[in-house]
Chains A and B, each alone.
Chain A
Amino acid sequence: MDTLVLGISLETLAWLIPGLPLLGALCNGCATLMARRSGQVAPKPLITFLGVGTPFLSFMVTTFLFFIIRSTHHSIDTAPLFTWMAVDDFIVPFSLYVDQLSIVMTLVVTGVGSLIHLYSVGYMAHDKAYDRYFTYLNLFLFSMLILVLGNNLPMMFIGWEGVGLCSYLLIGFWFQDPEKAYAGKKAFVVNRIGDFGFLLAMFLLYTTLTQQGVDMRGGSLNFATLEAQRQLLAPVATTACLLLFVGACGKSAQIPLYIWLPDAMAGPTPVSALIHAATMVTAGVYMIARLNFLYLLSPDAMSVVATVGAVTAFFAATIGLAQNDIKKILAYSTISQLGYMFLGVGVGAFSAGIFHLVTHAFFKACLFLGAGSVIHGLHEEQDIWKMGGLRHKMPVTFLTFLLAVAAIVGIIPFAGFFSKDEILFQTFMRGHRVLWAIGFATAGITAFYMCRLFALTFLGKSRIDPHKEAPIHESPLSMTLPLMILGLLSLIGGWIGIPEVFKGHNYFHHWLQPVLGAGTLINESAHMHGTELILAVASFLWVFHVGLIALILYSQKLDWIKRCVKKMDWVYNILRDKYYVDEIYDFILIRPIHWLSQQILWRFGDEQIIDGLMVNGSAKTINLAGRLLSLMQTGWTQHYALFLAAGALGLVAYFVL
């Protein structure tokens, strides 16, 4: 590896990317622990400096590496820092892999991550556990970067588990509130179900390779090894892919494991923006793109992914129509957008899925942070029916929110338009007409509920409690600065992938080609341009009009809306109550298990058999034996002598007889 300035090699730089946030987490963690010991809070400037500084540095290193890769076209596969596991021929080196795909992901994670860290400084300023918050957030960033940069499946799994843990810690950040602690627990448990699939898939891949006698000394589950041996994996590809997809469903909140994400909004809003919108939840998409060679072996698994994605997108969007909590709406929209990404990778358009992942990170982070700004300004008010008319009070938030809404709805030339359209076009072109129709319909619904949210929050007349209204003000610069940057990115972020039909060069897809292969996109030939143009214009007109209607209705004709809802209240109720999925899970899964463990396993098995008979019973017996034996120790020397003589006699008898 060539050395750059001052003896620092590219490898060192690669290690710095996850290393810096880890350093931040460790230092902040130590500071927190030491402060707690003396019953204080760690000094805020220090925490801020470390907590925000390390992600930014990490981002700069990533940018530097990005330009290096751009000029050299070489990926960086670092030497192992150490060998994590070496059992027989199962070898897991701890090393990083920086290529075109992971650097894009890393840029998003560190870039958006840094902005959200900065935003948190303002948002969490008055929280008592400021230090703990930044410790967790830095730790999250570290785990996410390990997930993205690890060069083998087990390392990705560490990151996978690490982000799950941090997510749990941050959702339940205000754990004094039992409901929030419960939400954290729910997220963790549901994620564990997915992780189970991930683990099984790793076992399957490893055993398959071992049985074929593949030389795996370089690392048993390295992506490079897997890719080189993909022909051997073909027989198990469908099973492995589906198992991995179970993991992805858990992490990326797809049907049927999506239920944790809306509840995850119990955490602080920047956390929702970072973990539950921009980065962690997209890990499933990233994983599928990373393992594209494996998924391409199994058309069945791919169609499952695409179908689940499309259905989730539609399903979550309809729920979003009837929610009243600003963060819940955004949560369902996240699930819906993730569905689009899975639709993209599922039909084989991996780069389109990743493209949407990137733009989504920009506008969804912007939306969440904007929502956070609103909530912050309104003193923890989250019901959109108690907002309205905020455009004058919070102009910066209003403007940036507008940009992001335009992006998610898909207005030309905002970011979301290019990426979403790419996915829909690819779906259409590959013959998945039904899925395309679902996606198309979803786009309209998305436009409707996003505009509804926007209108109720910022337009129309104020419905805020009069005595709450006076002190409303725009948020501080540390919060508005990230908003402005993300708003700008929501506008121009899509321009990296403008297709040729709009006189662009589709730079993004060319960039990812070395990783994802040339065949993942079908739009380069000129005779497709007509179709593409028609589809794009149609979807633009569709979302534009639906959005416009929603804007007008919800800012001007609220009474009419209310009357309509009253007439169709059964539909509305179903949507508002999220199709009763939580209740159904509760009824068919949670209660029977609870009953079984409480009545049979605990009351009978544990208390009666194990505690009563085995533990306490044997403890009593042993205690009794001990008491009897200690009675022999009388304290009288001659008794001891007698025992000694008897023992000697016994031994002699044993020998002589």
Chain B
Amino acid sequence: MILLEHYLIVASLLFCLGLLGVLFRRNALIVFMSIELMLNAGNLVFVAFSRFFGRMDGQVLAFFIIALAAAEVSVGLAIIVVMFRKRGTIDINEASLMKG
């Protein structure tokens, strides 16, 4: 029997994985994917609770977030493209002109 708790644990794991990916991967694409992972962990929580409550509204909210994530990623990819043209790399640690 798969309970609500299991969904939540999986979601939390996904979220942590995403966070760790953002913190430690240097490739910008992978970082973006990790951010997606964090957002989708949220989606999973929504859907799980929605199912738990026996209502549909949480699942609708998940769609909202999917749409937003898509918009965000398209902007993110554009930024990476510009960065690659400019510097020839997508290593995010290369982008450290400004500090202090």
Contact between chain A and chain B defined by CB under 8 Å: yes
A→B interface (CB under 8 Å): 630, 633-638, 641-642, 645
- Complex interface: chain A residues within 8 A of B95 (CB): 637
**In the complex, which residues 81-100 of chain B have their Cβ closer than 8 Å to any Cβ of chain A?**
92-93, 95-100
B22 within 8 A of A: yes
**A642 touching B97, Cβ below 8 Å:** no
B2 within 8 A of A: no
From B19, B24, B26, B96, give the contact of A635 (CB < 8 A).
B96
CB distance from B43 to the nearest CB of A (A): 19
Which of these, B23, B96, B98, B99, contacts A641 with CB under 8 Å? B23
SS class of chain A's interface: helix, strand, loop or mixed?
Answer: helix
Verify B100–A633 contact, CB threshold 8 A. Answer: yes
Q: A637-B92, A637-B93 are in contact. Are A642 and B98 (CB under 8 A)?
A: no
A633–B99 CB distance below 8 A: yes
- 19 A-B pairs within 8 Å (CB atoms) are namely A630-B100, A633-B100, A634-B96, A634-B99, A635-B96, A635-B97, A635-B100, A636-B96, A637-B92, A637-B95, A638-B22, A638-B26, A638-B92, A638-B93, A641-B22, A641-B23, A642-B23, A645-B19, A645-B23
Contact with A along B60-100 (1 / 0, CB 8 A): 00000000000000000000000000000000110111111
* Distance between Cα atoms of A634 and B98 in the complex (Å): 8
Contacts of B23 in A (CB 8 A): 638, 641-642, 645
**Measured between alpha carbons, how far is A303 from B34 in the docked complex, in Å?**
96
A residues less than 8 Å from B97 (CB atoms): 635
Q: Chain B interface residue count: which class?
A: 10 to 19
Q: How far is the CA of A630 from the CA of B22 in the complex (A)?
A: 23
Given contacts A636-B96, A638-B93, A645-B19, 5 further A-B contacts (CB under 8 A): A630-B100, A634-B99, A635-B98, A637-B92, A638-B26
Cα A630 to Cα B100 with chains together (Å): 5
Distance of A641 Cα from B23 Cα, bound (Å): 6
When chains A and B are docked, how far (Å) is the Cα of A645 from the Cα of B19? 8
Question: CA of A634 to CA of B97 in the docked complex: distance in angstroms?
Answer: 10
B90 to chain A, nearest CB (A): 12
> How many angstroms between the C-alpha atoms of A641 and B25 in the bound complex?
12
A130 to B91, CA, bound (A): 73
Which B residues are within 8 Å of any A CB, using their own CB?
A: 19, 22-24, 26, 92-93, 95-100
**Interchain residue pairs A-B with the least CB separation, the first 6:** A635-B99, A635-B96, A630-B100, A637-B92, A636-B96, A641-B23
A339 to B73, CA, bound (A): 94
A residues near B26, Cβ cutoff 8 Å? 638
Q: Determine if B22 and A636 form an interchain contact, defined as CB atoms under 8 angstroms apart.
A: no
Max chain A Cβ within 10 angstroms of own Cβ: one of B19, B26, B97, B99: B99
Q: Write out the residue numbers on chain B whose beta carbons fall within 8 Å of the beta carbon of A633.
A: 99-100
Within the complex, what minimum Cβ distance (angstroms) separates A643 from chain B?
10
Q: Could you say which of A630, A636, A642, A645 contacts B93, with CB atoms under 8 Å apart?
A: A636
Whose C-beta in chain A lies nearest to the C-beta of B25? A638
A313 to B100, CA, bound (A): 74
Task: Report Cα–Cα, A583/B93, bound state, in Å.
Answer: 77
Q: How far is the CA of A638 from the CA of B95 in the complex (A)?
A: 11
* A635 surroundings in chain B (CB, below 8 A): 96-100
CA–CA, A30 and B93, complex, Å? 61
CB closest residue in chain B, given A634? B99
**A636, B99: Cα distance in complex, Å:** 8
CB contacts (< 8 Å) of A630 on chain B: these are 100
Residues of B within 8 A of A634 (CB): 96, 99
The CA of A641 and the CA of B22, in the complex, are separated in Å by 8
Give complex CA distance A638, B91 in Å: 11
Task: Write out the residue numbers on chain B whose beta carbons fall within 8 Å of the beta carbon of A638.
Answer: 22-24, 26, 92-93
Closest A residue, CB atoms, query B96? A635
Q: A630 CA to B93 CA in the complex, in Å?
A: 18
Chain B min CB distance to A163 (Å): 57
Nearest Cβ on chain B to A632's Cβ, whole angstroms:
10
| C-alpha gap A635/B93 in the complex (Å) | 8
- State A642–B97 Cα separation when bound (angstroms): 19
Which A residues touch B24, using CB under 8 A?
A: 638
A635 CA to B24 CA, complexed, in Å = 15
A641 to B92, CA, bound (A): 12
Nearest residue (CB) in B for A648 is B19
A156 to B84 Cα, complex, angstroms: 77
Nearest opposing residue in chain B for A649, CB measure: B19
> Nearest-CB distance from B57 to chain A (Å)?
26
User: What is the CB-to-nearest-CB distance from B80 to chain A, in angstroms, rounded to a whole number?
Assistant: 13
Residues on the A chain within 8 Å of B99, using CB: 633-636
Distance, CA A637 to CA B26, complexed state (A): 10
B-chain residues with CB within 8 Å of residue A636 when the two chains form the complex: 93, 96, 99
Shortest C-beta distance, A653 to chain B (Å), equals 15
A531 to B26 Cα, complex, angstroms = 115
- Bound CA–CA A637/B19 (angstroms): 13
Q: For the complex, what is the distance from the CA of A636 to the CA of B95, rounded to whole Å?
A: 7
Q: How far is the CB of A644 from chain B (nearest CB, A)?
A: 9
Minimum CB–CB distance from A176 to chain B (whole Å) comes to: 50
